Amino acid sequence: MRIGTLSIEPPLILAPMAGITDSPFRRMLRRLGGVGLLTMEFVSSEAVTRGIEAELAKLPFDPEERPLAIQVYGSDPDRMAAAARLAERAGADAVDINMGCPSRPIVRNGAGAALMGDLDRARAVIRAVRDAVTVPLTVKFRLGLREDDPAFLELGAIAEEEGADAVTLHPRTARQQYSGSADWARIAELVRALSIPVVGNGDVRSPEDACRMFGETGCAAVMIGRAVLKDPWIFAKTASFLETGRWEEPSLEQRAAFVLDHFRLLAEELEGRALLHKLKVFTGKYTHGLPGGRELRGRLDGIRDPGELMAAVESFFARLLTGRR
């Protein structure tokens, strides 16, 4: 699959997830394979163009992460254009515009999903960003703000007219947040309506789901978000399934090694409370469905030191592995 000049092989894309798809996580996923395009957590155009350090710190990435898309959000066309230029200068292989985020503080500022309710501004933002960068441009959105105002077909047409190279649809409304289920039939509708590639997104939890999304919607690529947190192998397994019709579950040893390597990488980049917070977030996800996982998650609140948490996770996996023998 191609997004403009960029080849996405396999046609599987990591969804941008704030607080999750940082550089260590992206590098870990690259090592497992199967991802055609990684996406950075979103970058605020306001913060990054005002030189806010914490936001600028998101931009540098490791060459092994490529191809990588950088997603920017905001409502001011000039600032969005300036932020997109910074993303391109940072080496992004593609720039993505966020027009789907339903989070209240973002929508209140006219950004994210709010742009689905102000299509003139959405057009101005896409046009300004298109004029600002030469790398491929994509736009990610939802069905609309509410079910009675499904702007996705109109917004998709605007994106195409303004020179976007592809669009991604997560077929829920902003009001739905993550409730209900993603309505894949709407992805098929958008595919039929546009000439540029449409990336399908929403509720893909297994290699079989991904195949079904391709088959039912005709989308050019599948984007996966939340499922990768419980199963970082979902991309590798799906790529194998698409190619050979089969996939293998990783061993418990492989899972344990992945988690501990990821945590070591995080410890190299972060410290103190920031590290502790990230370790807790990922421990919560990675131990789902594992024997004793619930008990470990119950103890997380009381842990105040990253070293203590790393030791607890290490002995959790050591116990699981000895229990198997």
Binding site for ligand FMN (CB under 6 A): 15-20, 41-42, 71, 98, 100-101, 140, 170, 201-204, 224-227
Handedness of CA 205, 209, 213, 216 (dihedral sign): negative
- Active-site position among 101, 122, 221, 310: 101
Closer to ligand FMN at the Cβ: 140 or 262?
Answer: 140
CA terminus-to-terminus distance, the chain: 44
Task: Find the shortest distance in angstroms from Cβ 106 to ligand FMN.
Answer: 9
CB neighbours of 307 closer than 8 A, spacing ≥ 6?
A: none
Task: Find the shortest distance in angstroms from Cβ 116 to ligand FMN.
Answer: 12
Nearest to 18 by CA among 53, 43, 52, 46: 43
Task: Find the shortest distance in angstroms from Cβ 205 to ligand FMN.
Answer: 8
Closer to ligand FMN at the Cβ: 71 or 287?
Answer: 71
Nearest to 94 by CA among 124, 135, 125: 135
Closer to ligand FMN at the Cβ: 70 or 320?
Answer: 70
Please identify the residue of the shown chain whose CB is closest to the bound ligand FMN.
225
CB 126 within 8 A of CB 161: no
DSSP character at residue 63: G
Task: Find the shortest distance in angstroms from Cβ 141 to ligand FMN.
Answer: 9
Closer to ligand FMN at the Cβ: 139 or 320?
Answer: 139
Cα 286 to Cα 277: distance, rounded to the nearest angstrom: 14
Cα 322 to Cα 51: distance, rounded to the nearest angstrom: 50
Closer to ligand FMN at the Cβ: 41 or 88?
Answer: 41
Task: Find the shortest distance in angstroms from Cβ 224 to ligand FMN.
Answer: 5
**Which tokens go with 190?**
């958008």
Cα 140 to Cα 112: distance, rounded to the nearest angstrom: 9
Q: Is 101 a catalytic residue?
A: yes
Catalytic residues: 101
